Amino acid sequence: MTTLLSVITGMALMLALIALMSRVMGFGAQKPSDYATLEPRMDIRHHLSGPLRCEGVIYGPLGRVTSRFTANMEGRWDGNRGVLSEHFTYDSGTRQDREWRLTLGNDGAIKAEADDLTGTGQGQQDGAAVCLTYTIRLPDSAGGHALQVTDWMYLVDDKTIINRSQFRKFGFKVAELVATMRKLDA
């Protein structure tokens, strides 16, 4: 019985250590303030405005590419309120549209709404980065699951953003997205 108890205790300690390391050292350990001094500074009212082109890949839970996509986007702003329309085409031929309704606070806080979100997304822009967290409900054709998303956008230059997102279910990473977003000349 003591051996079994030792094994269970050891496993519990390892799981706790892995969870702690991912909070301190991994993707989830980033904070917008980590990028506060980086230039150029991101302002979503400028960098997510007008026509944009997006290309990306989605990785499954085993780290292999499960889907590729392109998207045409259009951002429109009126002061601190904006709408970002997205029109995705996946390598399977599937098409998907999403309309983000964004509100930017004077302190860089972001509120995000979309029809496929559960509740309101929360985020922050600081320096050359934006972080947004939200819960998205997948379409029925993709299982209808609700996934917790951490979405990071990093400004590379005045016209290019790198987007990296992780999707989790019950705390486990089930997918990751990496994409470029480029401003097009109007």
Start-end of H helices in the chain: 2-25, 44-47
Residue 148 neighbours by CB under 8 Å, 6+ apart: 133, 134, 135, 167, 168, 169
pLDDT digits (tens, 9 = 90+) for 56-71: 999 999 999 999 999 9
Parts of the chain with a pLDDT under 50:
none
pLDDT attached to residue 149: 96
pLDDT for res 125: 95
Identify the pLDDT of residue 66. 96
pTM of the model: 0.84
What pLDDT was estimated at residue 24?
Answer: 60
What pLDDT, in 10s, does the model give residues 122-131? Answer: 999 999 999 9
Say how far apart CA 140 and CA 92 lie, in whole Å: 16
**Extents of the domains making up the chain:** 1-30, 31-183
Tokens of 99: 């309309």
Is the CATH number of domain 31-183 2.40.128.20? Answer: yes
Residue closest to 75 by CA, chosen among 56, 97, 50: 50
pLDDT of residue 151: 96
